[in-house]
Structure 1
Amino acid sequence: MAKKILIVDHNGLMTEVMSYILISNGYEVMTLDNAAQIFSSIRQNQPDLIILDAVLPGIDGIDVCRLLKWNKETQTLPVIICTDNDDTENYLKQEGAPNDVLHKPFGMNNLIETVEHQLAA
């Protein structure tokens, strides 16, 4: 059975590209363009991993990550943050930190390797 990945990104082109790459590599992909429905989507779809943009309409992606990591239902769910900020150490040292960080722009291999690494952890 294919692993399920939830992508939360307001950039439609970025979401399309990531979805295409992940689907081409055998993953099932669900998408959201904002974080408002993230918890209901998680309950309904039960993803194995979340790819979350650092900048989302109305709320910072890092704040969403914290909420996910502090919630008992979602705290073990791997979260990868996508950002154009190079300060990876800062992201990973924060309370409620993501499991990994992808720096934009990233290549297809980098996306797949990061996803595979987190799903294997």
Structure 2
Amino acid sequence: MGNFPFPGSSTINSPWSILFSLDISAAAFGIVTHPSSTLIEVLQDGVVVGSAAAATDADGADFFQIAGFIFDEIRITTTNTATNTQNDPGALLDNLQFSVAVPEPASLALLSLGLLGLIASRRK
């Protein structure tokens, strides 16, 4: 990996978000930054439902996995901790993988119960 070759070329507005059009139940990705403190938050309808912070840098990809939440946004905030002022708070994200949330079993049970009721009412 190494240092980013062009100071200023990887500048990002922090925080930044990845938005999903469907509810997501799990995600994983690798992130490379200048020496930073990185906060990763998962949100559902704009409300934070989970978060984690970690030190990240350009020496190797830091991999994150998010599970156990239903969410539609991942928000990433990087805070430059480098003593070299030429290092911008940049970030590279790669290998984003995610899983769409599976409907709850209770919803399926209610749908099945409704269909049984409809069938029973048609027999009368």
**Which TM bucket (shorter chain)?**
under 0.3
- Structure with the bigger RCO (C-alpha within 8 Å, sep 6+) is 2
What TM-score results when the alignment is normalised by the length of structure 2?
A: 0.24
Greater C-alpha Rg: 2
With normalisation by structure 1, the TM-score equals: 0.24
Larger helix percent: 1
- Which structure has more strand as a fraction of its residues? 2
